Amino acid sequence: MTTPTDPVILRPRAQDLMGLPIRRVLPQAAARQCGPFVFLDHMGPHTLPEGQGVDVPPHPHIGLATVTWLFSGKLVHKDSLGSDQIIAPGDLNWMTAGRGIAHSERSPDAERQTDSPIEGLQFWVAQPETTETGAPRFEHVADKDLPHWHEAGADWTLVAGEWQIHRAPAKVDSPLVLLDSRSQQAGQIMIKKPTTTWQWGLYLLKGDLRVQQQPLERHHLLVTGDTLAIDWKAGAHFVVFGGEPLGPRRMDWNFVASAPALIDDARQRWQNHQFDPVPGDDGYVPYPTRK
C-alpha cells in the first residue's frame, strides 16, 4: 500500500451502499493508508424516508478492525460472536476481525417508523501480523465512557487510542489515535507526532479550517507525516486520526491481510459458507464477481 512521504489531500468519491449515499475517502491511489488506517467511508448526511432503513446483510472481514462512529441516526450491529448492539451517536463500536468474523448493520425498527437522519464515519484499521490471524472480538463503548475535554475553544473526544493524559477504553492492536473535535469558537492547535514515523490524517466534516496555513475543503482528507498546525472558525467539526504505519497490506473486498494466502483462504471460506453465522440475521452478501 502507498504510504505518502509528502502531504497529500484526498477528494472523496461518491459511492452507494445498499441505497445509502456515502463518500469513499480512503484508500485512494495517492494514499492507500494513513498509519494503520486503511479505509474511511463518510455515510450521509442523509435522511431515510419513513419505511426505509440501512440494510447491510452479513458479510465477512479478516485482518482489520471496523470502527463505527455516528453523528446522527442509529444502527443495529450483529455479528458471528453473538453480539447484538444498538449504536447511537457518540458511542463507539470497535469490531476486531482477526482470522474471521461476519457482521450485519441495519436500522432499528424504531428508526423506520419516521423520516430518520443518518450520518457517520466507518474506518478500517489494519491489524499487525502478530494479531491478524488471532481471535475476533467486539467492543462497544458508550459515549459517557469515552474521554472528553475542552481545549483551544473546541470540545474533544478521544474515540480510540491514547492521547496526552487520556486513554480510550477500546483495545487496539497497534499505536494509534482517533480524535473528534467540534468548535464553539475560533481556535488553533498544534498536534505533534508521537514518533518520527507517525502519520496523521485530518478530515473536515463541516465549517472552515486551515491546516499548515492552507484552507482544507469540506469532505477532504489531508494525510501527512508532519506535525499538524490547525486553526478553525466557530462551528468547525473535524476528526484527526493516525498512527504507526504497518507493513504492506493487500486489500480485497472486505479482507485485509499481509499475505495473499490469507485473502485466498478467507474468500474460499466465505464462498463455502464456512464463517460462523450471524445469529438472528440469515442474510448473505456474496463475494463479488470479478470481470
Q: Contact at 8 Å (CB) between 124 and 64?
A: yes
3-state SS, residue 260: helix
Residue 58 belongs to some domain of the structure: yes
Residues whose CB is less than 8 angstroms from the CB of residue 171 and which lie 6 or more positions away in sequence, other chains included: 94, 96, 137, 139
Are residues 202 and 34 in contact, defined by beta-carbon separation less than 8 angstroms? no
What is the pLDDT tens value at each position of the chain, 291 positions in all?
A: 444 457 899 999 998 887 789 999 999 999 999 999 999 999 999 999 999 999 999 999 999 999 999 999 999 999 999 999 999 999 999 999 999 999 999 999 999 999 999 999 999 999 999 999 999 999 999 999 999 999 999 999 999 999 999 999 999 999 999 999 999 999 999 999 999 999 999 999 999 999 999 999 999 999 999 999 999 999 999 999 999 999 889 999 999 999 999 999 999 999 999 999 999 999 999 999 865
Q: What are phi and psi of 244, to 5 degrees?
A: -75, 130
Q: Which of 119, 124, 130 is closest to 95 using CA atoms?
A: 124
Q: Is residue 286 part of a domain?
A: no
Q: Does residue 243 belong to any structural domain of this protein?
A: yes
pLDDT for the residue numbered 16: 86
Tens digits of per-residue pLDDT, 212-227?
999 999 999 999 999 9
- CATH code at 88? 2.60.120.10
- Domain of residue 36 covers 8-271
Number of structural domains in the chain: 1
Is 2 domain-assigned? no
Cell of 114: 419516521
Residue among 141, 157, 139 nearest 149 (CA): 157
